[in-house]
A = this chain, B = another copy of it.
């Protein structure tokens, strides 16, 4: 099972790198192995050319479950926060799409970027007429435990039914989750499309 999962993460990372969303070793992808463990990309690898060895297994405290030469991604704590609070999340994909960073900067005072009645929100699971979907924007402290705490606070207290299955970290990038790796990829791609649409529309007005 783990080999197939690694292959899926490698294929998805390659596809997302082709979109220019994983430049400069940025981004990280993970998938849950059990209630308390998950696979995650090792720190510092270029995500467009991952090998089967560029992964490790962590527990929900972000500690490797086995001896490994790899360091977990610096942002493993955000994956832990999401897995611990969203039981149905079985994969978390984080990318550095430049348009997500641009809309986060533009919309930071509002606290979220919103879309109404754009077809692509269906890929996020919103199928109703006139659906409005919000992508919340969270602060980006350099201290990772503080950043993870923002995610925890958001998931515990502010997450609402019209929110996308993801968060946009200020001037940083998007985290999206899903109940499969396939769904996490669909969500992160939909959010990339929507952020670009929103940014271009804001300039064309």
Give chain A's interface residues, CB within 8 Å of chain B. 11, 15, 18-20, 23-26, 46, 48-49, 96, 98-99, 101-102, 105-106, 117-120, 123, 127-131, 140-143, 169, 171-173, 182, 185-187, 189-190, 192-193, 196-197, 199-204
Among B48, B106, B119, point to the contact of A204 (Cβ < 8 A): B106
Within the complex, the shortest CB–CB distance from A116 to chain B, in Å, comes to 9
Determine which of B25, B119, B141 lies in contact with A129 in the assembled complex, contact meaning CB atoms within 8 Å: B141
CB distance from A159 to the nearest CB of B (A): 21
Taking A26-B120, A119-B169, A123-B26 as contacts, is the C-beta distance between A204 and B193 under 8 angstroms?
no
Measured CA separation A201–B119 after assembly (Å): 24
Could you tell me if A24 and B186 are in contact, using CB atoms closer than 8 angstroms? yes
Chain B, Cβ-Cβ closest to A124: B24
Query: A102 touches which one: B15, B130, B204 (CB < 8 A)?
Result: B204
| Contacts A119-B171, A140-B117, A171-B117; A98 near B24 (Cβ below 8 A) | no
